[in-house]
Amino acid sequence: MHFEPPLVKGTLVKRYKRFLADVELETGEIITAHCPNPGSMRSCQEPGWPVCLSHNPSPKRKLAYTLEMLYNGSCWIGVNTLRTNALIAEALQQKQIAELVAYHSVKPEVRYGENSRVDFLLTQPGLPDCYLEIKHVSLLLEKDYAFPDAVTSRGLKHLNELLAMQAQGARAVLLFAVQRSDGYSFRAAHEIDPTYAEGLQKARLAGLEVLVYGVEVSPLGLGLGAALPF
């Protein structure tokens, strides 16, 4: 996934009210950008860090700039959660996810469960339907990637709904996309949301397939990386 037009560089002044970030551009101008990340962004939002933003000056937008990534001195960290599903859709089309290459039909945002939409429904004649849920990961705890970075009742709901589809004979897969490269392995963030961590462990024991993939993050674009240990 390439960024077109190219991203704009700047320096983070502060992130606030969850969806706003003040950034000083290379020109010295300070602008307010949309921050498309509902989490705490713990470990990836220090003032003074270099950032990259996309720019869309459409009159329909309240804010022309969108925060895409930050650089912590070691690696770029992707923080735009809206990019993750598009990246995975591209990876599915290009057969980059080894565990899912047998599926040829990919439908996004399909209704399922109790008033929910699964990120992707994969189908293929002769195979069970595959319900695929995607989670964006940007949190680093010591040297472990972790999810979530804030308490997530929505995430727990998705676990239960995936298990319900599995009980009906479908295949249920949860994929964590890690958008930074300065850690080693992935785990549930039990110290942030012990209920979700316990739920994830129970879901795995019940047969939920959990995949973890790294994402190659750079100002030029995003690419699916290698599978990571859980």
Q: Write down the architecture of domain 8-78 according to CATH.
A: Beta Barrel (2.40)
Cα separation of 229 and 96, whole Å?
17
pLDDT higher than 90, residue 113: no
pLDDT band (50, 70, 90) for residue 217: very high
Among residues 20, 18, 9, the alpha carbon closest in space to that of 42 is found at 18
Q: Given this model, what pLDDT does residue 123 score?
A: 98
Average pLDDT taken over every residue of the chain: 96
Cα separation of 67 and 10, whole Å?
10
pLDDT band (50, 70, 90) for residue 114: confident
What would the mean pLDDT of 137-158 be, rounded to a whole number?
95
- Here the tokens at position 40 are 């705490």
**Looking at the domain 82-227, which fold is it?**
Trna Endonuclease; Chain: A, domain 1 (3.40.1350)
Cα separation of 124 and 122, whole Å?
7
Give Cα 150 distance to the centre of its chain.
14
CATH code 3.40.1350.60 region(s) in the chain: 82-227
Cα separation of 190 and 146, whole Å?
9
Q: Given this model, what pLDDT does residue 204 score?
A: 96
DSSP string, 71-140: E-SS-EEE--THHHHHHHHHHHHTT--GGGTT--EEEEEEEETTTEEEEEEEE-TTS--EEEEEEEE-EE
pLDDT higher than 90, residue 116: no
CATH code 2.40.50.580 region(s) in the chain: 8-78
Per-residue model confidence as pLDDT tens digits over 41-85? 999 999 999 999 999 999 889 999 999 999 999 999 999 999 999
Q: Given this model, what pLDDT does residue 161 score?
A: 95
Question: Which residue pairs from 36-39 have beta carbons closer than 8 angstroms and sit at least 24 positions apart in sequence?
Answer: 36/66, 36/67, 36/79, 36/80, 36/81, 36/82, 37/67, 37/79, 37/80, 37/81, 37/136, 37/138, 38/81, 39/81, 39/138, 39/139, 39/148, 39/149, 39/150
pLDDT higher than 90, residue 115: no
